[in-house]
A and B are shown apart, each in its own frame.
Chain A
Amino acid sequence: MTDQVQEAAGNGWQSEKFIKNLAKRKRAERRFRLTGLLAILTALTLLGILLFSIVSKGHSAFIQTTITLDITFAESVIDPNGNRDAAELRGANYAKLVQDALREKFPDVKGRRDLRKLFSLISNDADSALREMVENDPDLIGKTVPVALVAGDDVDMLKKGYIDRSLAEDDRRVKDQELAWLDVLEAEGDIETRFNSGFFTNGDSREPEKAGIAGAMVGSFYTLIVTMLISFPIGVMTAIYLEEFATKNKLTDLIEVNINNLAAVPSIVFGLLGLAIFLNFAHLPRSAPIVGGLTLALMTLPTIIIAARAAIRAVPDSIRQAALGLGASNQQAAFHHILPLSMPGILTGTIIGLSQALGETAPLLMIGMVAFIADIPGGFSDPATVMPVQIFLWADSPERAFVEKTSGAIMVLLGFLIIMNAFAIVLRKKFERRW
């Protein structure tokens, strides 16, 4: 008896050993819980670092440095014959106006090399802005007007603080001489920053200060239109067939297994498929949105089918039975009753599939959408590039100024993706019905 009591005191709930053990187990519990929380926090921190690094590099892409110069629209340069002929005005040497203005501002700069350096303060695209001004208002000829001209990319980088003035001259892209000129301009309040609207309206360019994402945005738009027009109807039709009409047989099984496997095929393999079938076999134009769209459509098809099937399956059988009971045919029940009720779910899946397609790069590299294309595409068969590929191309460019362009383009792309996904969420929240 006493033995038993002693044993209980040694091992029972009140025993020191048990209490110690319990405390240890509780500590282990807290540790484990903390580990889980830490894992989530780590993942979120990584996400935060990613977004922060993009935004901190990219926000300055939306700002542009300009240098205001007093431009004299000398008639002798623009229109030597004095007849205001449109073709002559278009072909005139506007770059000389910029150079003259700079020379006037810094009269003591002599020598070809120094002059070239001086001229490089202003973007070599500035002349087209002047041309546009003159074409819009020929009365400018002969007048002297202060004009804010886009600065060269090195000046832009310096103004934004990406080039360190304290570095030794040899390690710095902007030399002391240029710094001196810029300080003069700065002191007179001629250097300003403003919103970079060209980033949204220009096509690609080799000059960072001129490069914009308009071409890529339009290319993405055309590509997505093709993708949507092909993958949405085919995806919905496949889903309806599999859920409503397919009898259980070998063909149905094959289609189902196929779709599940296609969903997991690496995207680059779809690119090779596009290359082999659409380019080498069907001879569609290279680099065109139509080919990109077709390739991406094949890639997004499984996503849309899987989402659409889930949405159709969620519609209760009673709806179908009621329709059939009132004399509708199978197809009328499917197309008039089940499809409309499952549409919110299908559309949500489609938008998510399309947002994947919008961010996809690898298959498009395979079908030649990586070419340098400065023009904004005007149709489905024009050579084009898309936003992710533009990001890839800019990320490869050596100029420092393209880093901010890349990050800026990424911000715009992420913005589009957020809008699409938010739209999908709203659609689901607003129209989804729980049965």
Chain B
Amino acid sequence: MTCVARLFHLPSVLFTNEKETVMSFYPLVIVLLLMSAAGYWFGSKKALRTVRKSSNFLTPRPHQFGLYVVIWSLVPPVILGVIWAVLQTTPLETDTGAMRQIDQVVFPVMLLLATGAGLYFSILRINPDLRVRKTIEGLVYVLLILASIISILTTLGIVLSLLFETIQFFGKVPMSEFFFGLNWSPQTALRADQVGSSGAFGSIPLFTGTLLITFIAMCVAVPLGLLSAVYMTEYASNRFRAVVKPLLEILAGIPTVVYGFFAALTVGVFFRDLGDSLGIDVVSESALAAGVVMGMMIIPFVSSLSDDIIMAVPQSLRDGSYGLGATKSETIRKVILPAALPGIVGAVLLAVSRAIGETMIVVMAAGFAANLTANPLEAVTTVTVQIVGLLVGDQEFDSAKTLAAFALALVLFIVTLCLNVIALMVVRKYREEYD
């Protein structure tokens, strides 16, 4: 594990260390690249020369011989370089003169030697019968697999980093308090005089707040999105579709921070003034404002998913309904929508998971104080708001306060993951029914 940790230090060595390292690093890289470029040129030339002398047919193309030389000249120094980086970050060698010598002189020389040896032996081996394509393609194949594995590593990284901090968090705060507590006030953890007590970490108000805002968002997005999808697929002319569909997609392309600004400054104030004129008390950070704007953002998401799903309903169902004398709207309401229902449920679940994970709108337009209420006119806070609130500007990573953010994020990750898996399963099952 520590070895891996050191490997990760490589970039930080390149970017942050004193000028010395950087100065010796870049010229070295340039020399190595020049050497392998020369190797490329020389290798391809030699391949052509040898094939002219012999009667053999040159199977691989000449430039592949060049690439072969390049691979052999670059792989050894890269491996050495990684070892170097690992050694550099060991605490042992920090300031001894001998190690500095090795750093500045011995290692570059070793790198150059390794490159030279790679060049020499690979060029020596070149003859028309050498199957260099196999070597090259083998290496490319390995690179392709490595690239694909990065996505797995990302997921693994998310799970491990969240899990690690969450376990630490549950070492400080009991799990029952986190999941069933009704009181959330992590800020008190800052006060040193409260020995033993480190704030209140009951996350129920956060989850209810998230659900309230999500529910409001769905109340806006599902009817609007679904009805526009129905109109687009069943009624609209091609020209109307061609113009309006991209316009609706703009809603999905607007950055969430813009929605947040709009929610905080325009919609929140509008609802507050509206409430004032009706004699109702509406706070300007109301759940209603954040929810409505979030719903607005999700409209194109719902509509484009439902669009696909309604399109996938077989034409024969429509024809059968029309044949029995049903009008278009009757066909839609009594045949198409019931047939598409599982798919639409899946789409709504995906939209819910999107709404739960949405951050900027709620950070800017919802409140920061945890408030256990179901009243949309009051300010509530959400899981994402608290993650941002707990982590922004905070440097220490062992207090329960910052660790709580990771625990919240883990819950968020698991919930959205489950919603997605269920939604995808529902949609897939539905597709199979009609394929």
Residues of chain A touching chain B, judged by Cβ–Cβ distance below 8 Å, are 25-26, 28-29, 31-33, 35-40, 42-44, 46-47, 49-50, 53-54, 57, 233-234, 237-238, 240-242, 245-246, 254-255, 258-262, 264-270, 272-273, 275-277, 280-285, 288, 290, 298, 301-302, 305, 329-331, 355, 358-362, 365-366, 370, 380-381, 388-389, 391-392, 395, 403, 406-407, 410, 413-414, 417, 421
B16, B300, B329 pick with most chain A CB within 10 angstroms: B329
- Pick the 5 closest A-B CB pairs, nearest first: A266-B357, A359-B255, A36-B231, A276-B161, A39-B227
B125: Cβ under 8 A from any A Cβ: no
Instruction: Return the CB mask of B113-147 against A: 1 if under 8 Å, else 0.
Output: 00000000000000000000100010011011101
Pair A39/B147 contact, Cβ less than 8 Å: no
A258 interface neighbour in B147, B155, B227, B230, Cβ under 8 Å: B155
| Given known A-B contacts A266-B358, A272-B162, A362-B384, A410 and B248 have beta carbons under 8 A apart | no
Pair B137/A331 contact, Cβ less than 8 Å: yes
Pair B253/A361 contact, Cβ less than 8 Å: no
B196: Cβ under 8 A from any A Cβ: no
Interchain nearest-CB distance for B307 vs A (Å): 12
List residues of B (356-383) whose CB comes within 8 Å of A's CBs: 356-360, 363-364
Per the bound structure, the CA–CA distance linking A282 and B5 in Å amounts to 7
Q: Nearest residue in A to B251 (C-beta to C-beta)?
A: A47
Pair B148/A40 contact, Cβ less than 8 Å: no
Pair A403/B265 contact, Cβ less than 8 Å: yes
Per the bound structure, the CA–CA distance linking A185 and B290 in Å amounts to 44
Extra A-B contacts (14), CB below 8 Å, given A29-B328, A255-B151, A262-B155? A33-B328, A36-B234, A54-B262, A233-B147, A242-B148, A258-B151, A265-B416, A268-B359, A276-B157, A276-B406, A330-B137, A359-B255, A403-B265, A417-B253
Per the bound structure, the CA–CA distance linking A182 and B365 in Å amounts to 37
Per the bound structure, the CA–CA distance linking A237 and B159 in Å amounts to 24
List of B residues within 8 angstroms of A331 by Cβ: 137, 140-141
| Given known A-B contacts A261-B421, A395-B260, A33 and B231 have beta carbons under 8 A apart | yes
B12 interface neighbour in A43, A237, A284, A330, Cβ under 8 Å: A284
| Given known A-B contacts A43-B228, A277-B161, A392 and B151 have beta carbons under 8 A apart | no
Instruction: Return the CB mask of B336-358 against A: 1 if under 8 Å, else 0.
Output: 00000000000000100110111
Pair B151/A302 contact, Cβ less than 8 Å: yes
Interchain nearest-CB distance for B88 vs A (Å): 13
| Given known A-B contacts A282-B12, A284-B15, A329 and B416 have beta carbons under 8 A apart | no
Some 19 contacts from A to B, beta carbons below 8 A apart, are A28-B327, A28-B329, A29-B329, A39-B228, A40-B248, A42-B224, A43-B248, A43-B299, A234-B150, A238-B148, A245-B144, A264-B354, A268-B357, A273-B154, A275-B391, A298-B154, A359-B253, A361-B359, A388-B255
Pair A53/B266 contact, Cβ less than 8 Å: yes
Q: Nearest residue in B to A259 (C-beta to C-beta)?
A: B151
Per the bound structure, the CA–CA distance linking A355 and B416 in Å amounts to 23
Q: Nearest residue in A to B15 (C-beta to C-beta)?
A: A381
Pair A290/B391 contact, Cβ less than 8 Å: no
List of B residues within 8 angstroms of A421 by Cβ: 253
List of A residues within 8 angstroms of B333 by Cβ: 32
Q: Nearest residue in A to B12 (C-beta to C-beta)?
A: A283
| Given known A-B contacts A37-B231, A284-B12, A403-B265, A240 and B152 have beta carbons under 8 A apart | no
Interchain nearest-CB distance for B146 vs A (Å): 8
B314: Cβ under 8 A from any A Cβ: no
Per the bound structure, the CA–CA distance linking A246 and B265 in Å amounts to 51
Q: Nearest residue in B to A30 (C-beta to C-beta)?
A: B329
B264: Cβ under 8 A from any A Cβ: yes
List of A residues within 8 angstroms of B296 by Cβ: 43, 46-47, 50
Per the bound structure, the CA–CA distance linking A360 and B350 in Å amounts to 20
B420: Cβ under 8 A from any A Cβ: yes
Chain B interface size, as a band, is 35 or more
List of B residues within 8 angstroms of A359 by Cβ: 253-258
Per the bound structure, the CA–CA distance linking A269 and B410 in Å amounts to 8
Interchain nearest-CB distance for A407 vs B (Å): 8
B289: Cβ under 8 A from any A Cβ: no
List of A residues within 8 angstroms of B25 by Cβ: none
Residues of chain B touching chain A, judged by Cβ–Cβ distance below 8 Å, are 5, 8-9, 11-12, 15-16, 133, 137, 140-141, 143-145, 147-152, 154-155, 157-158, 161-162, 164-165, 223-228, 230-232, 234-235, 244, 247-248, 250-251, 253-262, 264-266, 296, 299-300, 303, 327-330, 332-333, 350, 353-354, 356-360, 363-364, 384, 387-388, 391-393, 397, 405-406, 409, 412-413, 416-417, 420-421, 424
List of A residues within 8 angstroms of B227 by Cβ: 35-36, 38-40
B144 interface neighbour in A28, A43, A49, A240, Cβ under 8 Å: A240
List of B residues within 8 angstroms of A355 by Cβ: 253
List of A residues within 8 angstroms of B417 by Cβ: 261, 264-265
Pair A381/B329 contact, Cβ less than 8 Å: no
Per the bound structure, the CA–CA distance linking A360 and B257 in Å amounts to 8
List of A residues within 8 angstroms of B9 by Cβ: 282-283
A392 interface neighbour in B149, B257, B409, Cβ under 8 Å: B257
| Given known A-B contacts A265-B158, A362-B360, A255 and B254 have beta carbons under 8 A apart | no
Per the bound structure, the CA–CA distance linking A31 and B327 in Å amounts to 12
Pair A395/B150 contact, Cβ less than 8 Å: no
Pair B152/A255 contact, Cβ less than 8 Å: yes
| Given known A-B contacts A44-B248, A54-B258, A272 and B409 have beta carbons under 8 A apart | yes
Pair A40/B232 contact, Cβ less than 8 Å: yes
Q: Nearest residue in A to B406 (C-beta to C-beta)?
A: A272
Q: Nearest residue in B to A335 (C-beta to C-beta)?
A: B140
Pair A365/B248 contact, Cβ less than 8 Å: no
Pair B141/A264 contact, Cβ less than 8 Å: no
Pair B144/A269 contact, Cβ less than 8 Å: no
Q: Nearest residue in A to B138 (C-beta to C-beta)?
A: A331
Pair A410/B258 contact, Cβ less than 8 Å: yes
Pair B235/A36 contact, Cβ less than 8 Å: yes
Pair B147/A237 contact, Cβ less than 8 Å: yes
Q: Nearest residue in A to B160 (C-beta to C-beta)?
A: A276
Pair A272/B147 contact, Cβ less than 8 Å: no
Interchain nearest-CB distance for A54 vs B (Å): 7
Pair B327/A261 contact, Cβ less than 8 Å: no
Pair A272/B262 contact, Cβ less than 8 Å: no
Pair A285/B157 contact, Cβ less than 8 Å: no
| Given known A-B contacts A272-B387, A366-B391, A395-B265, A281 and B256 have beta carbons under 8 A apart | no
Pair B255/A417 contact, Cβ less than 8 Å: yes
A266 interface neighbour in B15, B266, B356, B421, Cβ under 8 Å: B356
Pair B412/A266 contact, Cβ less than 8 Å: yes
Interchain nearest-CB distance for B270 vs A (Å): 10
List of A residues within 8 angstroms of B299 by Cβ: 43, 46
Pair B388/A362 contact, Cβ less than 8 Å: yes
Q: Nearest residue in B to A47 (C-beta to C-beta)?
A: B251
List of A residues within 8 angstroms of B364 by Cβ: 392, 395
List of B residues within 8 angstroms of A417 by Cβ: 253-255
List of B residues within 8 angstroms of A362 by Cβ: 256, 359-360, 363, 384, 388
Pair B151/A262 contact, Cβ less than 8 Å: yes
Interchain nearest-CB distance for A21 vs B (Å): 11
Pair B405/A272 contact, Cβ less than 8 Å: yes
